[in-house]
Structure formats: structure tokens, C-alpha cells
Amino acid sequence: MAFDLQKTLRPHIAGIKPYSSARDEYSGTEGVFLDANENSFGTPGVATPGMDIPGMEASYHRYPDPYQQLLKKRIAEIKQLPVENIFLGNGSDEAIDLLVRAFCRPGIDNMVILPPTYGMYEVSAAINDVPLKKALLTEDFLINKTSVDEAIDTHSKLLFFCSPNNPSGNLLQTDVIEHYLQTFEGVVVVDEAYIDFADAQSWSQRLADYPNLVVMQTMSKAWGMAALRLGMAFASKEIIAILNKIKPPYNINALTQQAALKVLEQTEQQRDIVQKILAQRKQLQTDLEALPLVEKVFPSDANFLLVKVQEAAQLFHYLIDEKVIVRDRSKVILCEGCLRITVGTEAENQRLLSSLKRFMSSDKFIS
């Protein structure tokens, strides 16, 4: 199968003239800036006029770099990818939305997802009036190839694989994803929000092999930058150019760019934190499996565990009363009776376990 980007792209997108910001017309860092209708006198009590040099303290009165050049250069070094293969979004959710808008004609084209999976795929489809086809995972949360084949039709433009999957936590089969990269005529999106916690190579290292591949990652998990809202998409330079063409002009604010640059210098500390999370994940799984109310802890390649428990709804609300907050997934298909539990610090995990033991000794628990 030869992927045809222009055939997959919504026809009018190819002819759209993107908004040209002041920083598109002049990308230099020196000069008297009278081009963007900014407040040249600065921000009250914060900024000093003239502090516009990338890499220095953010100047709030100037617009940020619309293409995040310094930040992308640092990410390119870490991910070992060319800068032109990187898109940065306001969280991965922005990349999802832009992909839907770029490739799916409302009411005509559809996207295929594999439930149970990340909920924003369905939300983005609904917002953009794009039909959604669902191919249920197996009971072990693996790709059911027959279901995917039945879901795909001639109007399928996007196929989403979440690997490691949310909410189940497991990696999806590499060979099956590769099969669809070779045979699916649309864009294959592999969402790797949790890849740093998995013993697996990122699909981003296969971009040269597959022009229809988009890989999404995030700074929210392993890098601990959830509040900054910084998502990444890796793809061919042609697909990245399309995303840049239709994104808002200044989608990543200056504070996020500045803070991310500082955090991304701490690669050794980030690796240490990931190892601590993995150690706590292993210990938490062992401790949970020893509790009578726990029926199953599903294998995880992420920073959370999907746990099937007795009395799931009652336990969820009991934990809230204990000020221990987990995610109730018991109403999600294939996750009946399950709670999703993020791996916390040792102290947080011990508090969770103590609350679970108190629940078992209460009159709310019926063994």
C-alpha cells in the first residue's frame, strides 16, 4: 500500500493560506519591535522592555516563538529526531484535534478507535462532527484484528492505537500495528503518552519507514510537566507542515517554553524518577494482589495499574471520603469492577493500602 497524503488530506486544507503572524515575517531576536501591536512598555511589575532573547527570562509583553525553535531543538536532541519531524501542541489533545480537522471531513469521513481507550479521541470526533468506528479490544486488552478490519471502510481516515493503552496500561502488539501501517490507507496514530514507563522502543524511530505514521507523546507523565500542557507529535515533515499550517499562531506560551527548556536539561534526574516509579509500581502490584478484595491487577507498562476489585463503586466513594482519589473505570467497557490507580510515592501508596484495609474491616465490605 502506497500512502497518498494528498488523497487522505481534506481537499480544502491543501489550499488554505495559514495566518501569518508578526513572528513569521521577522523571526530575529534583535531590533525595535513595532510590528505586533504589543505593549512596548512591558508588563506591570513583571517584565522589562527589551528582554526578548530566547532562553532568557520570559518577557510577557512579547509574543512567543510560534514554532518553538529552541524547545524543538532540545527535544530533537533527546528524541534523536530531526526538528522538522516534531510538532508541539497545547497538550496531546491539541494534536488529536488538529489531526481530526486535517484529515476527516465532517459527517463523511470516520476515525477508528479501539475501546477501552483514551476518551479524548471520541470527544474530538464528536466536536468535529466526525463519525466514530469502534473496534473493541480483546478481554486481555489486545488488538482484535478481526474487529479492526470490520470497522475500517473506504471513509476511514484515522486509526488510533494507544500503546501503552489507557486505561488498561499494556502495550499493544507491535506486529499488528505494523500490519496496519502497511495496509491502512489513512493515517495511523500511535499514542505513546506512557512510553517512558515501558520496556519498548518508541514508534518515533520508525518514521522513515512509514509516511502515514504519527506518534504522540507528552511531557505530562514521565517529565512531570502536566500543568504546563505540552504535547508532542512526531511524523513526516509533510504531516508536521500541515499541523503547523492549521494550528493557532502562538499555541505554546512563553512560560511553557521557558520552563520546559529548563526541565529538559535534567535528563538524568528524569531517568531516576522513572526508575522510582517503576519500583513503586512493582511493589504496589504485589501489595494489592495480597488483599482479599482485589480480584486482579492487570499487567502494566505505564505509571498506573488497572485493578479489578470487589464492591468497586462503594470502594471508590469510600476512598474519596478517605481523601484518597483514584479513578472509577467500572462503567467502561471491558473494565467492569475496575479502578485505575496511579502509582504514587511510597507514602502515598501506603496511605492507599491502609485505606483499603480499613474498607475491608468496615461494614461496607461484603466478602
324 three-state secondary structure: coil
Please tell me whether the peptide bond between 116 and the residue prior to it is cis, using omega within 30 degrees of 0.
yes
* CA angle, residues 14, 20, 25, in degrees to nearest 5: 125
pLDDT at 1: 62
Whole-angstrom CA distances from 74 to 32, 36, 267 are 28, 27, 11
Spans of all domains in the chain: 5-18+66-265, 22-62, 268-360
Rounded to two decimals, the pTM is 0.94
**Residue with cell string 499555541:** 251
The Cα–Cα gap between 51 and 40 comes to: 11
Q: Is 211 helix (H, G, I), strand (E, B) or coil?
A: coil
- Type of residue at 80: Q
Q: What is the pLDDT of residue 208?
A: 96
- pLDDT confidence of residue 336: 97
pLDDT in tens, the chain (367 residues): 678 999 999 999 988 888 888 877 777 777 888 888 888 887 887 755 444 444 445 578 888 999 999 999 999 999 999 999 999 999 999 999 999 999 999 999 999 999 999 999 999 999 999 999 999 999 999 999 999 999 999 999 999 999 999 999 999 999 999 999 999 999 999 999 999 999 999 999 999 999 999 999 999 999 999 999 999 999 999 999 999 999 999 999 999 999 999 999 999 999 999 999 999 999 999 999 999 999 999 999 999 999 999 999 999 999 999 999 999 999 999 999 999 999 999 999 999 999 999 999 987 776 6
- Whole-angstrom distance, CA of residue 291 vs CA of residue 309: 10
Nearest to 246 by CA among 110, 121, 82, 103: 103
Helix-helix angle 254-263:69-79, to 10 degrees? 30
If we measure between CA atoms, which residue out of 365, 280, 361, 354 comes closest to residue 317? Answer: 365
Question: pLDDT per residue over 285-336, tens digit each?
Answer: 999 999 999 999 999 999 999 999 999 999 999 999 999 999 999 999 999 9
The predicted pLDDT at position 41 comes to 83
CATH code for residues 5-18+66-265 = 3.40.640.10
Strand partners, 70: none
Contact (Cβ atoms closer than 8 angstroms) between residue 137 and residue 334:
yes
pLDDT of 60 reads: 83
CATH superfamily of 268-360: Aspartate Aminotransferase, domain 1 (3.90.1150.10)
